[in-house]
Chains A and B, each alone.
Chain A
């Protein structure tokens, strides 16, 4: 009796086993699946199932990237890397903003012409403004990260967050310093600084490895390290400063160490990086993501030059607020 047994006759568990294996790379797949029938809709709107789904897929997929065309007064752009995306460019047409960082589902922006940062959760639309601790730095970096304990950072919306600000004391002794902001106290810490022997700007994103955020100090050929537990700064030397300068990047490695990459004598140049397993490349024929494991490159934009690029990695499941496609347009009206 080889009767075809279409999915409506399959037991719920078997359907769940199928749906959990739908790849998160294209969020539209899960949304469309949720419209197939009542049972599928019920599963795909069940928080317990979706939480299992995120655990099953472990690393949030690349959703797109935010970028500044130049460090001028403009709105950052968002380039989706998925075929269909609930995000719309209009989401970013609020105040002129500069994008600084993105981690754990949050984007850190600076409102141009003000002393304000905005921490924005594109999935829920939630925005929180905070004062920049120190204005007058021509170049500084800032990092945003989830501050919830016991969080696996696959779905940390709405919880407490931390912002780390790292700058250089141009008017004073020229040493790098850092502040840390806690959303729980709505306050910045007192600053800490470290002696590095020479002046260096900080202008690239921080890289989080364990409890430490790392920033490149390009003209000092050093790496600045801020420890979140101890609230202290230290420096480590950059490898081979004679060989690698300018096109150098930091990245977390798969096994939880700090990775460093540089380009030597190639027509390709790295302009940003990040995530567990891919880097961004700007080339003469457009922008690409390259999977480090397979070496496979995928074209994501025709544009050749982006000044600053911040990848956005997140799970976007049918329970996400942004999925209904209304949130961002309204959510930005400030």
Chain B
């Protein structure tokens, strides 16, 4: 565990903060990475999360948080450069490769990530996971979309409504 340090601890070693998942696992991470979260940024700027305190995240379990932090750590250097306008094509290609791999995950993890990215307000991650789900919708019928995304079977009323709409929008099903 890192020694407690002051809010403006800018002397050599990067400042670390501790995040605590809903199942009480502690994650120590560089403040710069955790600050990708708009929600955490203010707390961290106020000097919170250092040392033994930690920031509790009651809505994020440890499996999800570990995945979220993997994203934040990878993206923190580029974010520190103000969206990395000077990043080389190689750097950008590497981040893109990482992102593609990152969302190649089980659907339940993907949904947990959507919620976590939303709660923690991590813009890049929100956009990444939302795009992944949007791509899963492509070329599918409403029923296929429901099945793919884990909706329960439609009720008879819902089914009737869907059928009526499908008649109305016939061209989209040819």
Contact = CB atoms under 8 A, between A and B. Distances in A.
A21 B114 CA distance: 14
A13 B126 CA distance: 11
Contacts of B173: 28, 32, 84
B108 A85 contact: no
B15 interface: no
A279 interface: no
Interface string A1-40: 1111111101101100111111100111101111111000
Contact of A4 (B107, B118, B168): B107
Interface size class of chain A, counting residues whose CB lies under 8 Å from the partner chain = 35 or more
B137 A29 contact: yes
B6 to A, nearest CB: 36
Interface in B131-174: 131, 133-134, 137-142, 145-146, 149-152, 158, 162, 165-166, 168-174
A36 B112 contact: no
B2 interface: no
B108 A324 contact: no
B43 interface: no
Contacts of B131: 21
Nearest to A22: B134
Given A13-B118, A35-B142, A23 B134 contact: yes
Contact of B133 (A13, A18, A32, A325): A18
Given A7-B150, A8-B151, A21-B130, A325 B171 contact: yes
Contacts of A7: 111, 133, 149-151
B63 A6 contact: no
Contact of A23 (B63, B107, B138, B158): B138
Contacts of B138: 22-23, 26, 29
A26 to B, nearest CB: 7
Contacts, number: 115
Given A13-B118, A33-B145, A21 B171 contact: no
A33 B108 contact: no
A33 B143 CA distance: 10
B169 to A, nearest CB: 5
A83 B146 CA distance: 22
A24 to B, nearest CB: 11
Nearest to B118: A14
Contacts of A325: 168-171
A323 interface: yes
B115 interface: yes
A91 B147 CA distance: 36
Nearest to B164: A35
27 contacts: A1-B22, A1-B61, A2-B63, A2-B112, A3-B108, A4-B107, A4-B108, A6-B111, A8-B152, A11-B115, A17-B127, A18-B137, A20-B130, A21-B131, A21-B134, A22-B137, A29-B139, A31-B172, A32-B142, A32-B172, A33-B137, A34-B165, A36-B145, A36-B146, A83-B139, A84-B171, A325-B170
Interface of B: 22-23, 61, 63-64, 107-109, 111-112, 114-115, 118, 126-127, 130-131, 133-134, 137-142, 145-146, 149-152, 158, 162, 165-166, 168-174
Given A11-B115, A14-B126, A20-B134, 6 more contacts: A7-B111, A11-B118, A13-B118, A17-B127, A21-B134, A83-B139
